[in-house]
Structure 1
């Protein structure tokens, strides 16, 4: 457990640290060509340093209410440590992970393991897909608006999302299926992005996904509350918290400001990969199947969130698409050459993406 950092600034330290890393990355992008071997080595070294330090900082955090649902996980873990049966049923793999680690009677080991399972798949997926440029992709994932919160608060969902990204990076369908299954057995909410992945295997016309996303906006404006009730009634997700998020929130105290209604701010933020994807796919005529698949998957999952955007804490649903945002924004810029001063374009994209999350979380 890290007792060197005072609790009141524990989370802020993460954001200030990533700010320093972002400034170094931006300066490097503006002054050096992306293709230089020395540049790629510098970015890779910086990304590995971030991987190690974030793993330690996040993984060794004290058990405290400041980290949201961490207290709920800790209560269940302590219950298992005492030899009691689990109070709530959760997905198979996460339940077994808790029961195995409970034998060591160390909540600190449990939370460090969860952090490792959250960050390590992102590291390996970035290296597998982006090769020598993996550092850019990994840092974009760390710079994501929801990265910290899903490492310390929405722990189970965060792990599942990272494993899902690892699944997407696999070369064979068998390996993909295995990792998709593992992700689902950590948190069944990954069924939604998985449905998007399977949909693209059947319907590869990416224009239809853009039209679906656009159509979801007026549909939500007109039938938002009805759709929320519908998804509850059909039991799309039978998690107890779903009823709280879509319905009465008084039973849930997460220590955040509740905003109910059509979240135009979240919608505008979610539109970033939509605009970027449309530009590169239709304007630049990019034929990369992986990029088209990622974009279609995002549009599918984000469109579903738009339909229930009025739900309390709708960011929980938005995460099912947001966890892919950093990769989608950076993918074409480090895979292809589009602009004369592309290193400057990369710098601007990274800066804008980082500042959104930094300012929203700090201010």
Structure 2
């Protein structure tokens, strides 16, 4: 395990690493226009090296961190791990996650278990990026890890993070592989029902303009009906702790996700919608995959708007924010629409990562 990094500085180290790589990549792409818009045969050796470096570094830093309550729920996971090692049987709603933990507990290898969780969190994003963007995968990967919740769900909301990464990989496949990965994602955390239902709706004809309309309606309802989050907490089958969060509303006013209606985070979540709408409706640049991933993001983010006032609503924001980078990066890499597109790409990437970095200081 990594013992030389002080626990209180761990988040800063990881987030600084991401920010430095983002800055380096931004400088690189601004100097080379072909480094952004996809061109067959262009290898992009330096971006690839940066991408591989950050993938390995994240796996090491996240996977080999000390076991401590300093990382939030990691301490609770370890407590349950000890119970399984002592003979308890798997329980809980998330059967696959609990089963995996139980298996590692049988050989009493908690460090190996958390390393496994980190690999499941990071590697699917790496594979998904390459499946979608080929040699341009580092650009997409950095967008996927640049959002504000990436670190938190690497070390704290571990189940959610693993599940969302599997979902991101799942949508790059078709047929049984896609649905098998989605089933595994639900097994890791039941909240993934929401983006999977949204993906299914988008796959069967739910249009992008309907998704945007749904988002606007949810925003208006959340503003007009202050108690809507509490009402939904008892009916949505996306997390077994929703009702608990509703019951403790108001007790965590110093937490990021429990400070009422956060316009800054609403606007943050609206950025991918603005980018997607620009490409789809204004420039008419899209394909079947992008229409589905855009609608999935918008629908899932809209549901979060209804829950935004609950404590720890970041657990539900992550169900959309996890693919935020994909919604932004994919069209910028696939289609040329700006004369200096590399600058647009760099500004959006640095802006997204910079907002995340500053917000976590």
* Superposition TM-score tier, normalisation by shorter sequence: over 0.9
Closer/same/farther in 2, CA of residues 258 and 165 from structure 1, 3 Å limit: closer
- After superposition, the CA RMSD in angstroms is 1.9
Q: Does 1:77 align with 2:78?
A: no
Residues in 1 aligned to 2:163 and 2:97: alpha-carbon distance in whole angstroms: 10
Task: Find the counterpart in structure 1 of residue 190 from structure 2.
Answer: 188
Closer/same/farther in 2, CA of residues 255 and 218 from structure 1, 3 Å limit: closer
CA offset digits 1:46-69 (Å, max 9, x no partner): 101100011000100001122110
Task: Find the counterpart in structure 1 of residue 273 from structure 2.
Answer: 274
SS of structure 1 residue aligned to 2:33:
coil
- State the Cα distance separating 1:14 from its structure 2 match: 0.8
CA offset digits 1:306-341 (Å, max 9, x no partner): 112211122111111110101111111111111111
Task: Find the counterpart in structure 1 of residue 261 from structure 2.
Answer: 262
- Equivalent of residue 131 in structure 1, options 128, 131, 134: 134
8 Å CA contact 1:68, 1:255 repeated in 2: no
8 Å CA contact 1:232, 1:243 repeated in 2: yes
- State the Cα distance separating 1:237 from its structure 2 match: 3.7
CA offset digits 1:179-210 (Å, max 9, x no partner): 11111111110000011111112324211111
Closer/same/farther in 2, CA of residues 232 and 349 from structure 1, 3 Å limit: closer
8 Å CA contact 1:81, 1:102 repeated in 2: yes
Please give the residue correspondences for 1:340-355 in structure 2 after superposition, counting only pairs within 5 Å: 340-355=339-354
Closer/same/farther in 2, CA of residues 314 and 19 from structure 1, 3 Å limit: same
SS of structure 1 residue aligned to 2:13:
helix
Task: Find the counterpart in structure 2 of residue 94 from structure 1.
Answer: 97
Q: Does 1:176 align with 2:178?
A: yes
Residues in 2 aligned to 1:33 and 1:148: alpha-carbon distance in whole angstroms: 30
Closer/same/farther in 2, CA of residues 192 and 242 from structure 1, 3 Å limit: same
8 Å CA contact 1:32, 1:39 repeated in 2: no
- State the Cα distance separating 1:236 from its structure 2 match: 2.2
Closer/same/farther in 2, CA of residues 212 and 197 from structure 1, 3 Å limit: same
Task: Find the counterpart in structure 1 of residue 50 from structure 2.
Answer: 46
Closer/same/farther in 2, CA of residues 312 and 49 from structure 1, 3 Å limit: same
SS of structure 2 residue aligned to 1:55:
helix
Higher relative contact order (CA 8 A, sep 6+): 2
Residues in 1 aligned to 2:257 and 2:50: alpha-carbon distance in whole angstroms: 37
Which runs of 5 or more residues in structure 2 are unaligned? none
- State the Cα distance separating 1:232 from its structure 2 match: 2.9
- State the Cα distance separating 1:249 from its structure 2 match: 4.9
Closer/same/farther in 2, CA of residues 258 and 43 from structure 1, 3 Å limit: closer
Which runs of 5 or more residues in structure 1 are unaligned? none
Residues in 1 aligned to 2:130 and 2:233: alpha-carbon distance in whole angstroms: 39
Residues in 2 aligned to 1:13 and 1:39: alpha-carbon distance in whole angstroms: 30
Task: Find the counterpart in structure 1 of residue 114 from structure 2.
Answer: 111
Task: Find the counterpart in structure 2 of residue 236 from structure 1.
Answer: 237
